[in-house]
A and B are shown apart, each in its own frame.
Chain A
Amino acid sequence: MSSNPLLSVEGLTVQFFTDRGTVTAVNEISFEIQEEEIVGLVGESGAGKSVASMSLLRLINGPGRIVEGEIRYKDRTLFALEEGPDGEPRKREDMLSDEEMRTEIRGNEIAVIFQDPMESLNPVYTVGNQLQEFIKLNRDISKKEARSEAIRMLREVGISDAAERYEKYPHEFSGGMRQRVLIAMALACKPNLIIADEPTTALDVTIEGQILDLVQDLQEKYGTSFLWVTHDMGVVADICEQVNVMYLGNIVEQAPVDDIFYNTKHLYTDALLDSMPRPDRTVERLKAIKGVMPSAIDPPEGCPFHTRCPDARQVCEQTHPDLRDVSDDANIIHRSACLKHDIFNVNYEGSLPMTDETKRQANTSAGTTSVNETGADR
């Protein structure tokens, strides 16, 4: 990876301290985003995608906390801990204050588009008003200029009749239009990085297509980097250059997009790709992944995927694989957290395969998210 990433995340761990126990929503993940790059964060529901992406701007609160890791943006430290005199971790000196995060980073350096647009728009003000206010605050221009700029932004994100829609309230917009407004807001301060949490998931495929086009145009035009959070491998293939696959709080595979699809090196990614119905060809029978994702409160020991993995062996139950470069090509970094790869050197080949029975037991003892699913393997 390049020596000067725009954003780098090192060993990030986020936990929620709930009545039912400690949830490790994000477990020691590391990744980078380069300038002008679209990076994907993909995984199923509950994998930790939202928590991971919101941590980058320190937007985790309530029972949740970043407990470990370092987040750097350009030459600034968004998050870092050090050991205090009493042995307890404390904030490192170079870490930005909340005030600095708010005024210097959020919005004008890094912007966020949330999963639900209604949450980010105020229902009692017109869309134009909110956009104009936002631009005026962040860009130090007159009200009139801000209005004109707001209309220009609405147009830029493909809202037709922008001047007229400017006067309308959020509830008068369709889902796709609201999502565009949020993109317009994110763009308004010309940030270098936009974090987008499933911005097209609730949209029709035709509208999603328009937004994906838009993002690619904007990236070309302004060189904006994106962290694109999604569960849709189609969207990943379409717009991402670099991909991080998450499972149960862990990044299990990390590689350039072509390698993720054509040279898959983790069994979860493999299984995910095999279980999808395809738009481009007819698949008679889907290869479903057995079982359900275990609960993050009491995750399985060893490899987090071992309760569902078709190739799990006993060593997978004992050893937690970290993410290592397993690439066979010196020019490509392709990381995987699967013990099958020689680099882990745990004698996977010599270990006994786990039977369905032992896996089911593992699944049960790890406590699945809900009632244990029997026969879910069909």
Chain B
Amino acid sequence: MSGDELTDLTASTPNSHGSTRPDNSELVRVDGLKKYFNVDSGLLSGLDFRFEYPPVRFERETVKAVDDVSFDIRRGETLGLVGESGCGKSTLARTVLRLLKPTEGDIYFEGENLADIGREELRSMRRNMQMIFQDPQSSLDPRMKVGRIVEEPMKAHDMLDTEGRRERAKELLNRVGLDPEHYYRYPHSFSGGQRQRINLARALSVNPDFVVCDEPVASLDVSIQAQVLNTMAELQEEFGLTYLFIAHDLSVIRHISDRVAIMYLGEIVEMGEKEEIFENPKHPYTKALLDSIPVPDPRASGAHGVLKGEVPSATNPPSGCRFRTRCPSLIAPDSFNLTEEQWEAVRAFMRAVERQTFDPLEESAIRNRFFEDVQLYGEAAAVIDEAIDLIALDSARADGVELNGSGEYSEQWKDAAEILLDAFARTSVCAAQHPAKDVEAGEDSDRFVACHLHR
């Protein structure tokens, strides 16, 4: 495919530029962005109270899906955004495109603040910002022929005449690796990889500068995924595109990104150049994510599953550092003066009791399991004793098997967990203070880590 045939595709845009390497000017800047949702509380949602009298009060809760996020995206680069499901990646993407109204904060696109421009202006700005979704199946209207699907955005933005649009659509189909004759077919006869190519052609039809890709290859097979990723990289070079690329697959992120942002529970916890993030991760969450990936090398040491538990609810996120309830490096509270070994044992015991991850045991067995090699003294020892006393079988009730899961006994576990959390978790600096972003001085001034260990 020669570049010449495509001159008319790029030439018509005032914004396109031939440069294939990212220059350092920013295209998008997000500043203190927040997006909160109000939802019915989990307790009541799903139940129908319409016939109750007196009417039951609906409790509204706030989900902080995106909470105070700031970053910039440079022209021509790919910013990769990763995090576990539910951490707010898609909400962030949609808010950046102003498909959702931000609760607070600013989004500058080419210097223009999308957060406070009018509808009409926004509509015309949209031409420069397109989005590609995960599920190529459901994002294509089955009743529309491929041609119409690709032409739709052009029509919405009054681009070209009928003939011009058709010509451009066919050319784009060719460009994304399909047959221009596919213009006349319905999407159902296409494979997943081909559908994602149709989506690409549609997004590119209005010649955008910025494309947000939300898990664009997640549903594709490995061999097809590679084809689509390669096509995306080529199109980026050719059209000078800037990508915000969302994925949960760290291998894909490593391949496609120039810089990477790691998101946890509505916040960006670490950001930096790709190689830096993968070779020298600093935030405990980034490290844990990287350690979890099964490496396609049987000789690699498999160190996965370092994180226990799941992402807590965004309606009531942990105070201070949101990662602290799972953080393997949670910092010891100052007050007890614990050694590293003592703190490790206490932390492990506290989490095991909190999550009730072990079967009821007698006191000696608990001590053997958690405190075999460490001796505690003073205040810390007293707290541990009190907790063990509550959950140990001998002191609780005799018949352990029957007790498993019974009401009163499980209250005692909860009490024990509260005592431990009050003493050891809630007094940690990680719970008391929100970690400030530590921006590293030096050439890579964009690297930041939000963790009390790095300041």
Contact = CB atoms under 8 A, between A and B. Distances in A.
Interface of A: 44-45, 144-145, 147-148, 151-152, 155, 158, 160-164, 166, 174, 176-177, 204-214, 231-239, 257-258, 260-262, 271-273, 275-280, 282-283, 285-289, 292-293, 368-378
A292 B404 contact: no
A307 B190 CA distance: 19
Given A151-B404, A212-B304, A277-B229, A374 B222 contact: no
Contacts of A213: 304-305
B356 A163 contact: yes
Given A160-B356, A278-B255, 20 more contacts: A162-B356, A177-B310, A205-B248, A206-B289, A208-B292, A210-B304, A210-B305, A213-B304, A235-B294, A237-B296, A261-B296, A262-B299, A275-B226, A276-B222, A279-B254, A286-B230, A288-B223, A292-B193, A369-B191, A378-B234
Interface string B381-407: 000000000000000000001101110
Interface string B303-315: 0111111100000
Contact of A373 (B178, B296, B355): B178
Contacts of A209: 291-294, 304-307
16 contacts: A44-B222, A155-B357, A161-B356, A163-B410, A204-B85, A205-B84, A205-B293, A209-B292, A212-B294, A212-B304, A231-B221, A238-B294, A273-B296, A278-B296, A280-B300, A371-B185
Interface of B: 1, 84-85, 174, 177-179, 182, 185, 189-191, 193-194, 221-227, 229-231, 233-234, 248-252, 254-256, 274-275, 278, 288-300, 302, 304-310, 354-359, 401-402, 404-406, 410
Given A152-B404, A204-B84, A276-B226, A376 B298 contact: no
Contacts of A204: 84-85, 248
A239 B227 CA distance: 28
Given A145-B401, A280-B300, A376 B193 contact: yes
Contacts of A212: 294, 302, 304-305
Nearest to A177: B310
Contact of B293 (A151, A158, A234, A239): A234
Contacts of B300: 237, 280
A163 B356 CA distance: 8
A106 to B, nearest CB: 28
Contact of B177 (A147, A262, A287, A373): A373
A205 B292 contact: yes
A261 B298 contact: yes
Contact of B275 (A279, A282, A283): A282
B190 A371 contact: yes
Contact of A280 (B256, B295, B355, B406): B295
B296 A370 contact: no
B297 A237 contact: yes
B177 A275 contact: no
Nearest to B410: A163
Contact of A163 (B274, B302, B404): B404
Nearest to A176: B310
